[in-house]
Structure 1
Amino acid sequence: MLVNERQTPEGLLVAVCDEDVLGETFESDDVSLTVNEEFYGGETVGDDAVIDSLARATVANIVGTQAVELAIEEGFIDEANVLEVGSTLHAQLLWM
């Protein structure tokens, strides 16, 4: 998976995606999701690093079946809040 971290005035923004969805566009009904290099491109990491990044995130965008399923398994995302966009999964995390 790829992880990209950015510090913002509001806190840590984390973008996570499966490597195979980078550069792809997914569409479903009125939703279009482009997994672009600028936002999602980052360091290739394993599960433990993804978990660490999500644990420190204030906001996270997660795309791809593997990444979203890991976020669900680790309790960051409720499965009921996951979107199916085309052939992939998308979830957002916001800690308040």
Structure 2
Amino acid sequence: MIYVKIYRVQGEVLLAACDEELLGKTFREGKLKLEVRERFYKGELMDEDALESLLEEATIANLTGERCVSKAIELGYVDPERVLRIEGIPHAQMAKLMW
């Protein structure tokens, strides 16, 4: 299961999603720090298959965890070469360019 929270601001749809077990944790590696804050990520708990329709609507996405990032890669929204790993935890961001 994953936590999903959607923010709608000035025409943008930001999707924040993380694997359930990562919520509230902080990961560090060298100078990098990844905080999986409840305030930002904790929304509705759902199956990762729900990401398909949510990513389709999102203009920006912030994804943390194996299930979230793997699903976004599978759906073609994230390039696996661009995934950042901190303490082995994958993190990816997506932005759609609108013309």
Tell me the TM-score range normalised by the shorter chain.
over 0.9
What residue is the counterpart of 2:56 in the other structure? Answer: 55
Using the alignment, how far apart are the partners of 1:78 and 1:10 within structure 2? Answer: 25
1:1-96 map, 5 Å:
1-96=2-97
Q: How many residues align?
A: 96
- What letter corresponds to residue 27 of structure 1 in structure 2? R
Asked whether the 8 Å contact 1:22–1:40 carries over to 2, the reply is: yes
Relative to structure 2, which stretch is displaced further, 12-21 or 2-11?
2-11
Q: Alpha-carbon deviation of 1:87? A: 2.7
Partner SS for 1:77: coil
Partner SS for 1:49: helix
TM-score, normalised via structure 1 length: 0.95
TM-score, normalised via structure 2 length: 0.92
Q: Alpha-carbon deviation of 1:86? A: 1.0
Using the alignment, how far apart are the partners of 2:64 and 2:44 within structure 1? Answer: 15
Using the alignment, how far apart are the partners of 2:31 and 2:55 within structure 1? Answer: 28
- What letter corresponds to residue 89 of structure 2 in structure 1? T
Identity of aligned pairs, percent?
A: 38
5+ residue gaps, structure 2, are none
Using the alignment, how far apart are the partners of 1:3 and 1:17 within structure 2? Answer: 7
Asked whether the 8 Å contact 1:26–1:85 carries over to 2, the reply is: yes
Q: Which runs of 4+ in 1 moved over 6 A?
A: none
Using the alignment, how far apart are the partners of 2:56 and 2:17 within structure 1? Answer: 13
5+ residue gaps, structure 1, are none
Asked whether the 8 Å contact 1:26–1:87 carries over to 2, the reply is: no
